[in-house]
Amino acid sequence: MEKKRKNIGVFLLILTLVLVVISLEVGKYNVSLTRIIFGQITDSLDYKVFFQLRLPRTLMALYAGFSLALVGAFMQTIFKNPLASPDIMGVSSGASAGAALGIILGGGGFLTVTSGALIGALLAISLAVYLTRGRFSRQLASFVVAGVAVNALAQSILMLMKLLADPENQLSSIEFWLMGGLGNVTLDKVFLGLVGSLPALILLLFLGRQVGIMALSDGEAEALGVNLKVVRPIILFLSALVVASLISITGIISFIGLVAPHLARLWLKTNNRKTWIVAGLIGANLLLISDILARTLTYAEIPVSILTSLIGAPILILLMRGNGKL
């Protein structure tokens, strides 16, 4: 079994490298990665396409796919719910409402939309955690109910923003943001995403032992020294910060955080640190594949969230049919 797990890890790493090369080279304007590496290209257009378009979106696909899948694995573990995903606490809905508000009030500029999405997501998770305070704060169901309530509230605000939006300009911008995409990602935006999410992601990895223990019952976790009243909200807030920092730049990206952890557990038959890293690699590959298809299938670029859903939903259905359960 251990050899099989190593083989899966090696396969995913090789697949990631292959997809990175394809992502850097393929598009409406093909670029030779080999010629760029060895300095054999003098055309400035090739360098612009590579460094201003291909490299940023490839890096973001790698990092965002890995991070969203890792957070999804954490969510499914601490909630003991295979349907849990990064937006279970209303993070995505909060980000959507905040982004819509930024488009309407801020003119749709990058900083206003990104800031609105980030603030909206963090307000959503803060409200959800606040609602679970008190004597019920350790009960798992209270977090789920709070997430449902916050999600419904954020969706209502989003619908109101759509109603108030200018149908000719603002409404289309809101809808396009909600469908997600990596086409407008630059190296500066990649840096902003790293600054906002990487510290939280590192802290989450340091809390991996506690997350693993929380896969047990709440009573067993507390007996092993995990203070659920403190640790669970911290993990939720850090997860929300990672997701919010990324989707504030890329827009909503569906199914990565839901499907990748399932595939990792199916292949490795475990749920530990190695499984989470494998889930991250699967998420990175899924988003890379989706982004490559998004810019090559048709003349006009397809929003990446459409493709992640088209890829992720059938995988989830096959998992259900194969296992009889998730």
pLDDT in tens, the chain (326 residues): 677 778 888 999 999 999 999 999 887 777 777 777 766 666 677 778 888 889 999 999 999 999 999 999 998 888 887 777 777 778 888 989 998 998 898 777 788 888 888 899 889 988 888 887 754 455 667 777 888 899 999 999 999 999 988 888 888 888 888 888 898 899 999 999 999 899 999 999 999 889 888 888 888 888 888 888 888 888 988 988 899 889 888 989 988 998 999 899 888 888 788 899 999 999 999 999 999 999 988 888 899 999 999 988 888 888 777 665 55
Tell me, what's the pLDDT at 111?
Answer: 84
CATH number at residue 148: 1.10.3470.10
Q: Is the pTM of this model over 0.85?
A: yes
Q: What is d(CA 96, CA 157) in angstroms, rounded to the nearest whole number?
A: 9
Whether residue 181 contacts residue 304, with contact meaning beta carbons closer than 8 Å, is answered with: yes
Q: Kindly write down the DSSP assignment for every residue of 59-93, as one continuous string.
A: HHHHHHHHHHHHHHHHHHHHTT-TT--TTTTSHHH
CA 105 → CA 63, 109, 143, 148, 169, distances in Å?
30, 10, 32, 27, 13
Tokens 């899966």 belong to 8
Q: What is d(CA 154, CA 97) in angstroms, rounded to the nearest whole number?
A: 6
Tokens of 97: 């409402």
Long-range contacts made by residues 145-154, C-beta under 8 angstroms, separation at least 24? Answer: 146/89, 147/88, 147/89, 147/90, 150/89, 150/90, 150/93, 150/94, 150/124, 150/125, 151/87, 151/89, 151/90, 151/93, 151/124, 153/90, 153/127, 154/90, 154/93, 154/94, 154/96, 154/97, 154/120, 154/124
Tokens of 85: 């995903």
Sign of the four-CA dihedral 194, 272, 282, 311: negative
Whether residue 182 contacts residue 291, with contact meaning beta carbons closer than 8 Å, is answered with: yes
User: How many domains does the structure of the chain reveal?
Assistant: 1
The amino acid at residue 16 is T
Q: Which residues contact 20 (CB under 8 A, 6 or more apart)?
A: 58, 62, 288
Q: What is d(CA 62, CA 280) in angstroms, rounded to the nearest whole number?
A: 9
Q: What residues make up the domain containing 89?
A: 2-323
